[in-house]
């Protein structure tokens, strides 16, 4: 298939899908004449149907159409081909011609969204009067999808008008709801901005009377404790001084025997201390 024709068929099937609800796999009703034509022209019917319709297909045949093939002689290949298709119930107790059978299955609105593949010119003329029916036929060993009929185009225009009308009504409703609320919205007053909380110095909390009294009592107790410690320290210092003086006096009495008790209060000079030590050393070194 040429690229231009394939593009046209793709657009046409997208139209049927968008506006009329056709879905894949497409249900294709095949009549007995198309089966015979495909066998005569050696056409792979299922493959060609998928190429023309640009999607997956599910070929179907009615009991009346396959009965026509049984009645004709020398059509065993066409019968074998028809047996591979899905059997569509037409609810006809007695077999009727294939054209009438397909027309009754489609009905007035093509409720089940069938694609009709037929070689009957009479049937194709009837189906063009019904909107939303894709029609396929074989012309000189080439399978063709017919362009949309006038009834289909009228149904398309009507659907588009209804869509636009519903859109316009919705827009008017929105505009009406917005126009009714003509009262202006209250403006928010702009309050003065405060200082940066990070740059503001924190306020010191004012001490309570109880905390002040507690602080005073603590300070008073601290002073009293300090005085007591000072007195103890002074007493211990005096004791150490008196013990040192007593030891000094004992040393002087043992060495010279001339020290008096009144001189204990006078500290010994460095020179006198050295002389005393020297005399003591010489006295110990003299022989007996």
Tell me the per-residue pLDDT of 112-125, one tens digit each, with 9 for 90 and over. Answer: 999 999 999 999 99
Cα 70 to Cα 19, 30, 76, 92, distances in angstroms: 39, 15, 8, 17
Residue 161 lies in a domain: no
Single residue among 155, 174, 203 that ends a domain in this structure: 155
Residue 174 has pLDDT above 60, yes or no: yes
- Going by pLDDT thresholds of 50, 70 and 90, the confidence category of residue 84 is very high
Tell how far CA 239 is from the center of its chain: 88
Are residue 35 and residue 138 in the same domain, yes or no? yes
Cα 62 to Cα 65, 92, 205, distances in angstroms: 5, 10, 100
**What average pLDDT is seen over the chain?**
81
Residue 129 lies in a domain: yes
Token couple for 187: 């403006």
pTM of the model: 0.57
Are residue 247 and residue 149 in the same domain, yes or no? no
Are residue 35 and residue 140 in the same domain, yes or no? yes
Q: What is the pLDDT of residues 192-245, one digit of tens each?
A: 778 888 888 877 766 566 666 667 777 777 666 655 555 555 555 556 656 766
β-pairing verdict for 86-88 and 142-145: unpaired
Number of Cβ within 10 Å of residue 36's Cβ equals 21
Are residue 148 and residue 255 in the same domain, yes or no? no
Q: Under 8 Å CB-to-CB from 100, ≥6 apart: which residues? A: 64
Are the CB atoms for 58 and 46 separated by under 8 Å?
A: no
Single residue among 101, 130, 155 that ends a domain in this structure: 155
Query: Which among 223, 268, 224 has a CA at the least distance from the CA of 245?
Result: 268
Cα 15 to Cα 56, 128, 141, 166, 281, distances in angstroms: 16, 16, 26, 20, 139
Residue 229 lies in a domain: no
Residue 288 has pLDDT above 70, yes or no: no
- What span, in angstroms and rounded, lies between the C-alpha atoms of 120 and 124? 6
**135-139 sheet: strands from edge to edge:** 86-88, 57-62, 26-30, 114-117, 135-139, 142-145
27: helix, strand or coil: strand
Residue 188 lies in a domain: no
Are residue 113 and residue 241 in the same domain, yes or no? no
Residue 43 lies in a domain: yes
Give the domain extent around 75: 3-155
Q: What is the pLDDT of residues 140-166, one digit of tens each?
A: 889 999 999 999 999 989 988 888 877
What domain count does the chain have? 2
- The enclosing domain of 25 has a CATH number of 3.40.50.1010
- What span, in angstroms and rounded, lies between the C-alpha atoms of 244 and 252? 13
Token couple for 73: 């002689």
Single residue among 155, 174, 200 that ends a domain in this structure: 155
Residue 211 lies in a domain: no
């Amino acid at each position: 298939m040429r690229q231009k024709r394939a593009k046209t068929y793709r657009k046409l099937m997208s139209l049927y899908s968008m506006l009329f609800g056709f879905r894949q796999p497409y249900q294709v009703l095949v009549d007995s004449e198309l089966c015979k034509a495909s066998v005569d022209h050696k056409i792979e019917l299922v493959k060609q149907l998928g190429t023309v319709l640009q999607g997956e297909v599910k070929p179907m045949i009615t009991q009346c159409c396959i009965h026509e093939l049984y009645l004709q002689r020398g059509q065993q290949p066409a019968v074998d081909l028809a047996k591979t298709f899905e059997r569509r119930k037409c609810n006809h107790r007695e077999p009727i011609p294939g054209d009438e059978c397909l027309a009754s299955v489609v009905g007035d609105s093509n409720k089940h969204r069938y694609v009709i593949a037929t070689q009957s010119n009479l049937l194709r003329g009837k189906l063009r009067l019904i909107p939303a029916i894709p029609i396929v036929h074989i012309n000189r060993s080439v399978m063709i999808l017919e362009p949309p009929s006038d009834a289909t185009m009228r149904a398309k225009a009507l659907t588009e008008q209804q869509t636009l009308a519903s859109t316009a009504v919705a827009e008017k409703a929105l505009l009406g709801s917005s126009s009714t609320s003509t009262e202006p919205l209250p403006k928010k007053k702009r309050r003065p901005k405060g200082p940066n909380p990070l740059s503001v110095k924190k306020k010191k909390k004012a001490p309570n009377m109880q905390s002040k009294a507690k602080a005073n009592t603590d300070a008073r107790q601290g002073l009293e404790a300090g005085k007591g410690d000072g007195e103890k320290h002074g007493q211990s210092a005096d004791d150490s001084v008196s013990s040192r003086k007593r030891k000094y006096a004992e040393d002087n009495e043992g060495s010279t025997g001339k020290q008096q008790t009144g001189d204990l209060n006078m500290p010994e000079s460095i020179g006198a201390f050295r002389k005393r030590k020297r005399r003591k050393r010489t006295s110990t070194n003299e022989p007996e």
